[in-house]
């Protein structure tokens, strides 16, 4: 009988997302300048999984993973306060580490370490490549999403005034002559006294000049 409950639907979706990340990255070239927007649904599922893989371990997960490592290598004289200080320092150094990678690193540290100072370096050595790859995967998915731009319609070129005039002539339409092209640009044809005065021209007649 098929289970169609909401919980099952969510589980199926998450499992699909987990499979989507490597599949999506295998289909997308990091050198592509643009990507088809039709890939966006797959990219968004891949983004969910990429972020999920980088989700940091919480305090409870951190304590459960690190405490056994310390117990195996702690010297006899190490006090409870010393253990708490060590755990705080390890927490700061391993800040942001995903829970599953922390478990992998701690399993390696329990096998090879014989002193508290060697635990954190051993964890980082065991998981640094996996952690770096997950960060790259997230960066690659985000970069791919940024390249998915909806295509825009190219703008139609506009004809120049000369092209418009030529088209009108070919259609037997006489282009209108604008006022600007026929406007008189020199002095007025019949200037009056105000125009002469405005331009500093003395229009006093010779008779008036002699009388003066």
Residue 38 lies in a domain: no
Domain membership flag for residue 111: yes
14 assigned to some structural domain: no
89/110 Cα distance (integer angstroms): 18
* 102 lies in some domain: yes
Q: Is residue 42 assigned to a domain?
A: no
Task: Identify whether the C-beta of residue 96 lies closer than 8 Å to the C-beta of residue 57.
Answer: no
Half-sphere exposure of 7 (CA within 13 A, CB side): 1
User: Domain for residue 36, yes or no?
Assistant: no
Task: From first to last of the 212 residues of the chain, give the pLDDT tens digit.
Answer: 444 443 343 334 444 445 688 888 888 887 888 888 888 888 889 999 999 999 999 999 999 999 999 999 999 889 999 999 999 999 999 999 999 999 999 999 999 999 999 999 999 999 999 999 999 999 999 988 888 876 666 666 777 777 777 777 777 777 666 544 555 566 666 667 776 777 667 766 554 554 54
Give the helix/strand (H/E) hosting 28.
Answer: none
Range of the domain at 69: 59-132
Task: Tell me whether residue 81 is in a domain.
Answer: yes
Residue in the structure block whose two tokens are 């006090």: 79
In a domain, 212, yes or no: no
Q: CA 141, CA 49: separation in Å to the nearest integer? A: 10
Report CA dihedral (104, 105, 111, 117) to the nearest 10 degrees.
-160
Task: Give this prediction's pTM.
Answer: 0.60
| Tally of structural domains, the chain | 1
Alpha-carbon distance 32 to 29, whole Å?
A: 5
User: Encoding tokens for residue 36?
Assistant: 């088809």
Locus of tokens 């755990």: 87
């Amino acid at each position: 009988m098929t289970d169609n409950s909401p919980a099952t639907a969510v589980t199926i979706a998450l499992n699909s997302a987990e499979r989507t990340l490597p599949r999506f990255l295998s289909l997308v070239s990091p050198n592509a300048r643009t990507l088809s927007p039709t890939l966006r649904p797959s990219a968004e599922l891949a983004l969910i999984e990429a972020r999920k893989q980088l989700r940091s371990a919480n305090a409870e997960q951190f304590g459960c993973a690190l405490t056994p490592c310390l117990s195996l290598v702690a010297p006899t004289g190490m006090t409870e306060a010393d253990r708490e200080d060590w755990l705080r320092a390890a927490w700061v150094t391993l800040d942001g580490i995903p829970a599953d990678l922390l478990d992998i690193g701690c399993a390696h540290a329990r096998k090879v370490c014989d002193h508290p100072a060697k635990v954190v370096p051993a964890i980082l050595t065991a998981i640094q490549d996996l952690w770096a790859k997950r960060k790259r995967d997230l960066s690659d998915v985000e970069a791919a999403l940024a390249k998915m731009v909806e295509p825009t319609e190219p703008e139609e070129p506009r004809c120049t005034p000369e092209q418009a005039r030529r088209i009108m002539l070919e259609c037997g339409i006489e282009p209108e002559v604008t006022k600007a092209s026929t406007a008189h640009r020199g002095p007025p044809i019949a200037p009056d006294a105000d125009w002469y005065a405005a331009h500093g021209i003395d229009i006093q007649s010779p008779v008036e000049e002699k009388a003066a």
